Amino acid sequence: MNERKLTSLDSALFQLNPVVIAYSGGVDSSFLVHRASLVKGLKSAAVTIKTPYVPDRELNDAVDFCKIYGIEHHIVHIEFPEAVRNNPPERCYLCKKFLFSRLKEFAAMNGYAYIADGSNADDLKSYRPGLKALAELGISSPLAESGLTKEEIRKASKDAGLPTWDNPSMACLLTRLPYNVTITEKELKMVEEAEDFLFENGLYGTRVRMHGSIARLECMPGYMEKFISGPGREFIIKKLKDIGFRYITLDLEGYRSGSMDQT
């Protein structure tokens, strides 16, 4: 692990004193809130924004993590922003702009001068339209600014004994539906229930992409055979149909981040 980068991170965090950290419960933000809690003299708090398109399991994981490590944690509940109801191509930008504006309001009301998020150095090299919104709002990204990559954050998390170090990447439920379609809470709950079921049955990290009545499953490496010929195949099909999907398909390319962005 590059100790220079970790020292740089600690310094960057201390300069954001006092700071609210946007906390999703994922690998990056979990490492960031934990590291911030170890910086002497730094007043920090983790804040999780709960919307209808954030899975309950992620909220529960975030709550549990902060309890284990004694991290101050707040939850801000927000209704479905109408700006992203139709899942426009600029969804991520609009969502970040709306949510982090609310986070700025929370910080101002509670005596915090700065806001940070868990974007890492790799995010700066990929399609992340939400980063533009963060820049416009003056949100800091200490992990990215310190040059820490996803792989380095996973290693540092493992070294620190954090249970999140090998969690798969997370993304909001809006990424499971095509752009330019009106999103309903019912559809989001269908996707969430389907993914929860798959996770609970040992298929963690599987994405359920929804195309009307079709569930297109993107699984992690090594899971393909389980879906095709495993003993639970019929059970999976029945459960997803009970949830409300008419057709259950398996994407032969497997899981890949941002697959809906290809169009």
Could you give the CA distance from residue 123 to residue 95 in angstroms, rounded to a whole number?
17
Query: Nearest-CA neighbor of 141 among 7, 6, 11, 13?
Result: 13
- pLDDT above 60 for 1: no
Residue recorded with tokens 């019929």 = 234
Burial class (CB in 10 A: 0-12, 13-18, 19+), 102: middle
pLDDT on residue 263: 59
Peptide bond before 89: cis, by omega within 30 degrees of 0? Answer: no
Could you give the CA distance from residue 33 to residue 39 in angstroms, rounded to a whole number?
10
Report residue 184 as tokens. Answer: 């309903």
Question: Looking at per-residue confidence, does 256 or 11 come out higher?
Answer: 11
Mean pLDDT value of segment 16-30 = 97
The angle formed by the CA atoms of residues 128, 162 and 167, to the nearest 5 degrees, is: 45
* Confidence band for 130, pLDDT divided at 50, 70 and 90: confident
Number of Cβ within 10 Å of residue 64's Cβ equals 12
pLDDT on residue 2: 75
Looking at the DSSP bridge assignments, the partners of residue 247 are: 214
Report residue 257 as tokens. Answer: 């981040």
Domains of the chain in start order, with CATH, are 3-159 (3.40.50.620), 173-262 (3.30.300)
* Confidence band for 126, pLDDT divided at 50, 70 and 90: confident
The percent of residues above 70 in pLDDT, for the chain, comes to 99
H or E element, residue 189: helix 185-200
**What are 141-197's pLDDT values in tens digits?**
999 999 999 999 999 999 999 999 999 888 899 999 999 999 999 999 999 999 999
| Average pLDDT score, the chain | 94
Query: Nearest-CA neighbor of 140 among 49, 21, 23?
Result: 21
Query: Nearest-CA neighbor of 177 among 208, 217, 219, 220?
Result: 208
**List of E strands, the chain:** 19-22, 44-50, 73-77, 114-116, 207-211, 214-218, 247-250
Mean pLDDT value of segment 232-242 = 95
**What are 71-101's pLDDT values in tens digits?**
999 999 999 999 999 999 999 999 999 999 9
pLDDT on residue 85: 95
Residue recorded with tokens 């969690």 = 167
Which residue stretches of the chain are H helix? 3-14, 27-38, 56-69, 91-109, 130-137, 142-145, 150-159, 185-200, 224-229, 233-243
DSSP structure string for 218-230? E--TT-HHHHHHS
